[in-house]
Amino acid sequence: MSPNMSLFSINAILLLSTDDRSRILTKYYSAPHVPKDSTGTNPYPTVKEQKAFEKGLMEKTNKSSGDVILYDGRIVVFKMEGDVMMYVVGGSEENEILLFGVVLCLRDALSILLKNSTDKRTLIENYDLVSLAIDEIVDDGIILEVDPVVVASRVSRAPAQDVTNLKSVDLSEQGLLNVWEFGKQKLAERMRQL
């Protein structure tokens, strides 16, 4: 039996700007239900440590010609879209194909949601959609979905509540008279039934 029987596989998802090397959106995950002294805890608990990790990661990926690297004892897969670098960071024992599927899903879902305009400015203007898309893909480091069409439909779907459209309600005098007549007819029908 394998000693690591957990679905936890993502340590971080990072969206960084290649222009000024700033953060656009970063999410670091710790393995749930793991004691604090175990290896599943977040190795970068402070913002200072996270920024140092991100700076070193940007420097290493700028020199790299591939899409997968091993950095700081972690497998990192990445994709560049415009002026944005998308990273998915996993443990050293994780399957890089699975992690690559996550970064591709994120890229494609954002492309669908943002109408093929995945740049720093658009990501910041649509921060809510980007954050929701990441949350639909990964929850506490556990991969939930890798189909970009499903992710985009879940993020962009309107609420399932029956919300009355006020534009379709006729509040003119004739509309109110119609409602009054309809109510009188229904009341008369009920009275006859009794």
pLDDT in tens, 105-133: 999 999 999 888 888 999 999 899 999 99
- Bridging pattern class, strands 74-81 and 84-91: antiparallel
Most confident of the following: 17-21, 150-154, 163-167 = 150-154
- Residue 2 in domain: no
Q: What is the pLDDT of residues 72-107, one digit of tens each?
A: 889 999 999 888 999 999 988 888 999 999 999 999
Nearest to 53 by CA among 23, 20, 19: 23
Q: Would you state the pLDDT for residue 1? A: 42
Is 187's pLDDT higher than 60? yes
Quote the pTM value. 0.73
Segment among 41-45, 59-63, 67-71, 131-135 with least mean pLDDT: 41-45
Nearest to 28 by CA among 110, 141, 120: 141
- Residue 177 in domain: no
- Residue 186 in domain: no
Give the mean model confidence (pLDDT) for residues 134-144: 91
Higher pLDDT, 5 or 40: 5
* CATH code at position 62: 3.30.450.60
- Residue 169 in domain: no
Q: Helix or strand or coil: residue 149?
A: helix
Nearest to 89 by CA among 57, 59, 137, 66: 57
- Residue 179 in domain: no
- Residue 49 in domain: yes
- Residue 150 in domain: yes
Q: Would you state the pLDDT for residue 130? A: 92
Rounded distance between C-alpha atoms, residue 87 and residue 79, angstroms:
7
Give the mean model confidence (pLDDT) for residues 163-189: 74
Domains in the chain: how many in total?
1
Q: Domain of 110?
A: 10-156
